[in-house]
Structure 1
Amino acid sequence: MTRDELENLLKKQKAAFRSSPPDYKKRMQSLKKLSVIVDENKERLIEAVSSDFGFRSHQETLVLEIFPLHDEIRHAMKNLRSWTKRRKVSGSWFLLPASAYYQYQPLGSVGIMGAWNYQVLLTLSPLVDAVAAGNHAIIKPSEIAPASAEVLRKIINSNFPEEYIHCVTGDTELAKDFSSMPFDHLFFTGSTQVGKMIMAAAAPNLTPVTLELGGKSPAIIHSSYPLARAAKRIMAGKLFNSGQTCVAPDYVILPKELNNEFQDAVKKVVNKFYPDIANNEHYSHIISDKHYQRLSRLLEDAQSKGASVVEISSGTASIEGKIFTPKLVFNVNDKMEIMQQEIFGPILPVVNLENFEEAVEYVNEKPKPLALYYFDKSKKRINWLLRHTLSGGVTINDTVYHLAQHNLPFGGVGSSGVGHYHGFDGFKTFSKKRPVMHQKRLAASDLLHPPYTGLKNKLIRFLGKLAKR
Structure 2
Amino acid sequence: MAAAVTTPAGIHALLDVQQQAFNREGAVSAETRKARIQQVIDLLVDHCDALADAMGADFGEGTSGGRPRAFSIMNDVLGSLGSLKHARDHLEEWMKADPRKPFVPYDQLGGQAEVLHQPKGSVGIIGTWNAPLFTLFSPLACALAAGNRAILKPSEVVPQTAALVAELVSAHLDPEIVGVAVGDAEIGAAFASSPFNHLVFTGSTAVGRKIMRAAAENLVPVTLELGGKSPVIMGRSADLDDACRRLAIAKGTNGGQICISPDILYVLADKLESVITSLKEHFCQFYPTVDDNPDLVAAVNDSHLQRVESYLTDARERGVRIESSHPEASGTTRKRPLRLVINPPADSLVMQEEIFGSALVVKPYEELDQAIEDIHGRGRPLALYYFGWDADEEEKVLSNTLSGGVTVNDLMMHAAMHEAPFGGVGASGMGHYHGYEGFLEFSHARTVFRAPQYDPRGEWGMLPPHHDQFEAMMRAQVTKD
The TM-score with structure 1 as length reference comes to: 0.96
Q: Distance in 2 between matches of 1:317 and 1:295?
A: 16
Matched residue SS, 1:442: coil
Specify the alignment match of 2:128 in structure 1: 115
Counterpart check, 1:67 vs 2:81? no
- For residues 39-118 of structure 1, the aligned pairs below 5 Å read 39-54=45-60, 55-96=66-107, 97=109, 98-118=111-131
CA contact (8 A) 1:271 1:314 kept: no
Work out which of the residue numbers 393, 411, 416 in structure 2 matches 1:399.
411
What residue in structure 1 maps to residue 397 of structure 2?
385
Separation in 1, partners of 2:341, 2:469:
79
Distance in 1 (CA, whole Å) between partners of 2:470 and 2:144 is 50
CA offsets, 1:172-208, max 9 Å, x none?
1000000000000111000000001001111111111
CA distance in structure 1 between the aligned counterparts of 2:48 and 2:67, rounded to whole angstroms: 14
Aligned to 2:364: 352
CA shift for structure 1 position 94: 3.2
Residue of structure 1 in register with 2:3 after alignment = none
Give, in angstroms, the shift of residue 455 of structure 1.
Answer: 6.9
Residue of structure 1 equivalent to 2:21: 16
Residues 333-371 of structure 1 show CA distances to partners (whole Å, capped at 9, x for unaligned) of 112100000000010111111121111111112111111
Counterpart in 2 of 1:453? Answer: 467
**1:103, 1:433 within 8 Å by CA — same for their partners in 2?**
yes
| 1:95 CA displacement | 3.1
SS in 2 for 1:158: helix
Give the 3 Å change call, closer, same or farther, for CA 436–468 of structure 1 in structure 2: farther
Q: Percent identity among equivalent residues?
A: 35
Q: CA offset at residue 453 of structure 1?
A: 2.3
Amino acid at match of 1:375: F
How far apart are the structure 2 equivalents of 1:214 and 1:202?
20
For residue 37 of structure 2, what is the aligned residue in structure 1? 31
- Counterpart of 1:139 in structure 2 is 152
The one of 319, 325, 330 equivalent to 1:312 is 325
Secondary structure class of the residue paired with 2:294? coil
1:449 deviates by: 2.5
Instruction: Please report how far the alpha carbon of residue 423 of structure 1 lies from its aligned counterpart in structure 2 after TM superposition.
Output: 0.9
Alpha-carbon displacement from aligned partner over 1:41-95 (angstroms, at most 9, x marks no partner): 1101101111111110112112212112112122112211110000111111133
Provide, for residues 4-35 of structure 1, a one-character-per-residue CA deviation record: whole Å limited to 9, x for no partner.
22111111110000001332111000111111
Instruction: Give the letter aligned to residue 449 of structure 1.
Output: L
Which residue identity does 2:37 align to in structure 1? L
How far apart are 1:458 and its partner, in Å?
Answer: 6.4
Higher mean Cα deviation, 31-40 or 272-281?
272-281
Pairwise CA distance, 1:105: 0.3
Distance in 1, matches of 2:457 and 2:392, equals 51
Structure 1 or 2: more helix by fraction: 1
| Deviations 1:414-457, CA, capped at 9 Å, x for gaps | 11101111111111111001111000110344543322125756
Gaps of 5+ in 1: none
Matches within 5 A, 1:282-297: 282-297=295-310
User: In 1, Cα distance between the equivalents of 2:360 and 2:423?
Assistant: 23
Matched, 1:272 2:285: yes
Q: C-alpha distance in 2, partners of 1:386/1:450?
A: 55
Cα distance in 2 between the residues matched to 1:444 and 1:282: 74
8 A contact 2:244–2:282 mirrored in 1: yes
SS in 1 for 2:79: helix
User: 2:240 maps to which residue?
Assistant: 227
Letter in 2 for 1:188: F
Segments of structure 2 that go 5 or more residues without pairing to the other structure are 1-5, 61-65
TM value normalised by structure 2 = 0.94
Residue by residue over 1:107-166, the C-alpha shift from the partner in whole angstroms, topping out at 9 and shown as x without a partner, is 001111000000010111111111010001111011111111111111111111111110
Alignment of 1:213-224 (within 5 A): 213-224=226-237
Mapped partners of 1:150, 1:445: distance in 2 = 64
Query: Does the CA-based 8 Å contact 2:235-2:393 persist in structure 1?
Result: no
Q: Structure 2: which amino acid aligns with 1:123?
A: L
SS of the residue 2:83 aligns to: helix
Pair 1:421 & 2:430 matched: no
- Provide the C-alpha distance between the structure 2 equivalents of 1:253 and 1:217, rounded to a whole number of angstroms: 11
Alignment of 1:191-202 (within 5 A): 191-202=204-215
Residues 420 and 429 in structure 1, CA contact (< 8 A), matched pair in contact too: yes
Q: Distance in 2 between matches of 1:360 and 1:331?
A: 16
| Counterpart Cα distance in 2 of 1:291 and 1:457 | 69
Aligned residue type for 2:105: F
Q: Structure 1 pair 459/94, CA: closer, same or farther in 2 (3 Å)?
A: farther
Amino acid at match of 1:373: Y
| Equivalent position of 2:350 in the other structure | 338
Note if contact 1:277-1:314 (Cα within 8 Å) is conserved in structure 2: no
1:247 aligns with 2:260: yes
In structure 2, do the counterparts of structure 1 residues 376 and 457 end up closer, same or farther at CA, with 3 Å as the change threshold? same
Question: Alpha-carbon deviations, 1:236-273, whole Å to 9, x = none?
Answer: 11221000000000010112221221122112211111
